[in-house]
Chain A
Amino acid sequence: MFLLKLLTRNALRHRLRTGLTILGITIAILAFGLLRTVVSAWYAGVNASSAARLISRNAISLTFSLPLSYLERIRQVEGVKSVSYANWFGGIYITEKNFFPNFAVEPKSYFELYPEFVLSPEDKRAFLADRKGCVVGRRLAERFGWKVGDSITLKGTIFPGTWEFVLRGIYRGAEKSTDENQFFFQWDYLNETLKKTAARRADQLGVIILGLKNPQTAAETSLAVDARFKNSLAETLTETEKAFQLSFVSMTEAIVVAIRIVSYVVIVIIMAVVANTMAMTARERIGEYAIFKAMGFRGYYIAGMVFGESLFISMTGCAVGIVLTFPVAARFGKIMGAFFPVFQVERSTLYLDVAFCLVVGLVAAVFPTWRAVRIGIADGLRRIG
């Protein structure tokens, strides 16, 4: 108790220096937390993917499609419970800056396969009944102030033209990690339009989504699907939803690695700052440590004073940094909502914050403690006066 009182008062002796060091740690923890959250957001799609779903696409590339006729043949594969399909639409709302993912989907089966997109029965009925109807996520609707019944126009890029929709429902995510920034409309609307304007592109699917009877059979089922279309004009590549999502992330892996490295560099820099503060502190107090030792206090007590003060500073900065991470991340997530639909500080990030601050506090105190414990009493006392 006495030691705690002593090290707290010692830490507040040079308020400006301690304050600036705590501020440095706070900013470092904030930066680390945000960068980690950016990385987590990058993997949000991967983490939210289901083990009970497979994605089948053209083996050449995602830009090539699969014939609609594959649907029934895939449905007959052993282990497949249900199938749905979707096309990446790539429509633009007013300007390219307003980016959000938009898909043409088979509405009934799609929402059955994705129970994490929660739509009220009324909205669902209205959506199914309207060929030009669309459904958007809650955050996307908030972003543009859309309400059910509003008309929304998208400018097609992959499928040229002006596409008119009526908002029939707003879904919410079943989990915090569910993406609420997506836009879905009826695949039939796209297909029927294409039949009139570009018949050769009609009856083509971007991806086929397979619901599995048993997630344990994912490997066998995907092999069976791909075997069925081997040596056809459009061979399939079937993989778990997680692997499918990871293939997107892997394209930008260098950026993720860079962000990760920067987040650790921030911690190393702040470690040097705290170590410098503690070295200055210990140098100034060598005389006092000598007095303690003269009175009979052993080395571990002196070490406790230095380590305690270092941990007090680092953990205070950590606590403030963690508290500030949440509002800053929320603000950042709002600004970057188009790029990071799920931007949430993960619990593991907080554990890492605490672990790194403990390490910073301990490592920063090692050299000052070594000096303080080793100093001869007579030498230490000579430095006073």
Chain B
Amino acid sequence: MADSGERRIVVSIRNAAKSYLRGSQVVPVLEDLSFEIFHGEFLALMGPSGSGKSTLLNLIAGIDSVDSGSIVVDGVDIATLGERELADWRAAHVGFIFQFYNLIPVLTAFENVELPLLLTPLGRRERREHVLAALEVVGLADRMEHYPSQLSGGQQQRVAIARAVVSDPSILVADEPTGDLDRVSAEEILHLMAQLNSAFGKTIIMVTHDPRAAEKAHTVRHLEKGVLSDVPS
């Protein structure tokens, strides 16, 4: 694992390139991209639509693969992993927070949060303890028997955050986590994410269009036409 001064590098991207096929046309999205994300960093990725923010997030989270280059997360070059290894790696290292919460509607808040733990060797009692702890952190322990449809948007996103952190992943990736929320709920979610970052040292990589959301991050990077630049704070 590389170090930069005293800060540990969690994500190291080297010469990453990604393009998509649109019909017969190859559309490059990311070209020769290199940068690092440090442990405990709260990074906001901004940029116009189609700039490749979500693609970059997907590459870091291991749900899409680079055409060339490498992505090393916590010492593992995920570009070299096969589909099964990548699934196991995601289960152990990545927590997902989506714009539309993406909770499973037929499962209660408790069961939704429990999902990632089903892939661990934890027993039922231990899983319960972890789930309750995660729901406590997001302030929804009293709503654990509620189904997603019985919760507000903000509450659903908090359940999604509990699901993302319950297995204690190395990184949290959030794709427009406040994009579907009203201002007050969005503020609560951003506050919660900032808290996870400061109190629990979680490394967060967030894609957002919202400058107010980006304000909560330590680092804001701007992606445009596949080129990444720092945004002065």
Contacts and interface: CB of A to CB of B under 8 A. Distances in A.
Nearest to A1: B124
B107 interface: yes
A325 B50 CA distance: 60
A208 to B, nearest CB: 71
Q: Contact size class for A?
A: 20 to 34
A10 interface: yes
Given A297-B87, A298-B84, A385-B99, A6 B107 contact: yes
Contacts of B87: 293, 296-298
Q: Is the interface of A mostly helix, strand, loop or mixed?
A: helix
B92 interface: yes
A265 interface: no
Contacts of A2: 111, 114, 118
A296 B88 contact: yes
Contacts of B100: 384-385
A296 B104 contact: no
A384 B58 contact: no
B102 A9 contact: no
Interface string B160-203: 00000000000000000000100000000000000000000000
B64 A295 contact: no
A381 B106 contact: no
Name the residue among A2, A6, A291, A296 with the largest chain B CB count within 10 angstroms.
A296
A13 interface: yes
A294 interface: yes
A294 B92 CA distance: 11
B102 A377 contact: no
A296 B119 CA distance: 8
Interface in B61-92: 61, 63-64, 84, 87-92
A130 interface: no
A385 B98 CA distance: 10
Nearest to B147: A9
Interface in B81-140: 84, 87-92, 96, 98-100, 102, 104-107, 111, 114-116, 118-119
Interface in A214-233: none
Nearest to A377: B63
Interface of A: 2, 6, 9-10, 13, 287-288, 291-298, 376-378, 381, 384-385
Interface of B: 55, 58, 61, 63-64, 84, 87-92, 96, 98-100, 102, 104-107, 111, 114-116, 118-119, 180
25 contacts: A2-B114, A6-B104, A6-B107, A9-B107, A10-B106, A13-B105, A288-B102, A291-B96, A293-B87, A295-B90, A295-B91, A295-B115, A295-B116, A296-B88, A296-B89, A296-B91, A297-B91, A298-B87, A377-B58, A377-B64, A378-B58, A381-B98, A384-B98, A384-B100, A385-B99
